[in-house]
Amino acid sequence: MPTHEPTGDPYTDLPWEGSIDLGVGHALITMVEPHPGHEHEYNRWFEGNHYFDGAMYMPWMYSGRRWVATHELQQLRYPADSPVASPVTAGAYITTYWITPGRAEDHKRWAFATNDRLVSVGNVNRDRTHVFTSFHDHAGTVYASDDVPLDRFTLIDPSPGLVVEIVDAPTVEGRDALERWLLDEHLPARVTPDGPVASAMVFQVTPPSPRHKPEIFASLQKVANEGRRLTILWFLRADPRECWDRFTGEVEALAAGGLGVASFVAPFIPCRMGTHRYEDEIRPPGVIPRTTPERLVPLRPGEPGASSSA
């Protein structure tokens, strides 16, 4: 059994503590709506700064991918009276991050401290609304075939499309039965070798941490829906517009299963990180003229052209 003599240096000692298991143990999934008129500054701040210093720099978060829903894709979402997004089109961007097994709490400790530091120096953008943001625990993955790469690779080589489905059990006690039905019956019947889905991952939406500020804690409690909520990520082999007819019946399918309801079904495509691609496509045509700023470098709050919010 390997042993380690503590040195007092946390960078040397901490790697010897806790889990070193491989795979997707947990996830941070965050769907955000930039405020109208602030799309460019928000995107440059998020992609040039926050994606890195607010997420990927942190321990145990090893993979990430940002996705976008253009105005056209937003129109495909349902149900219209979704309890997740109001209106159902809210949340033009979603970012998915993988965290190694058994390391969610370690990651959160670092993340909370980092966020406090970033806020203290004004490196935060307030011109956006979190529509659905939560840490998740991985419950299982269904693959179309043995040839599909393991789920740990899903964000490295992005699928051409992602469908995010959020489902709710009628009670906290009923979530386990809904989860088993999804993994054992519903998804295997849908994720097939000849179908448009390469793999589908099921996550448990976790409750908020007591370290959150009271107003944020209350918001995240609503996101977790009192422990009744699950998130399904469907990784596609094609643009979702090419196969959307395969996803239009999720409300009816969940109802027929009798164990839960489909509260939100939404398609996304991968962002072209570090570019202006899709910035002028998330609003109805003609609402926002195409933006062609002179530079693609990150915009931090306080810089010319950046948000003045602190």
Here the CATH number for the domain that contains residue 175 is: 3.30.70.100
The answer as to whether 277 is a domain residue is no
Lowest mean pLDDT among 2-16, 42-56, 82-96: 2-16
In this prediction, residue 221 carries a pLDDT of 77
The answer as to whether 303 is a domain residue is no
In this prediction, residue 213 carries a pLDDT of 65
Which of the two residues, 68 and 1, has the higher pLDDT score?
68
Q: Dig out the tokens for 8 from the structure.
A: 């007092």
The answer as to whether 292 is a domain residue is no
> What is residue 131's three-state secondary structure?
strand
Domain with 193, as residue range(s), is 22-272
The predicted-structure confidence for 17-76, as pLDDT tens digits, reads as follows 999 999 999 999 999 999 998 999 999 999 999 999 999 999 999 999 999 999 999 999
* Average pLDDT value over all residues in the chain: 90
The answer as to whether 107 is a domain residue is yes
The answer as to whether 211 is a domain residue is yes
Rounded average pLDDT over 261-278 = 95
Residue carrying structure tokens 């596609």: 236
Q: Are 203 and 231 in contact (CB under 8 A)?
A: yes
The predicted-structure confidence for 141-178, as pLDDT tens digits, reads as follows 999 999 999 999 999 988 999 999 999 999 999 999 99
d(CA 220, CA 210): 11
In this prediction, residue 222 carries a pLDDT of 81
Place 2 in a pLDDT band, splitting at 50, 70 and 90.
Answer: confident
Looking at the 3D structure of the chain, how many domains does it have?
1
The answer as to whether 295 is a domain residue is no
d(CA 255, CA 257): 5
Contacts of 286 (CB under 8 A, 6+ apart): none
- The pTM for the full model equals 0.91
d(CA 126, CA 267): 26
Lowest mean pLDDT among 210-214, 254-258, 298-302: 298-302
Contacts of 8 (CB under 8 A, 6+ apart): none
Q: Give the chain's largest Cα–Cα span.
A: 65
Contacts of 246 (CB under 8 A, 6+ apart): 190, 195, 196, 197
The answer as to whether 301 is a domain residue is no
Residue carrying structure tokens 């990180």: 273
Q: Dig out the tokens for 292 from the structure.
A: 């062609």
The predicted-structure confidence for 277-288, as pLDDT tens digits, reads as follows 999 999 998 776
The answer as to whether 62 is a domain residue is yes
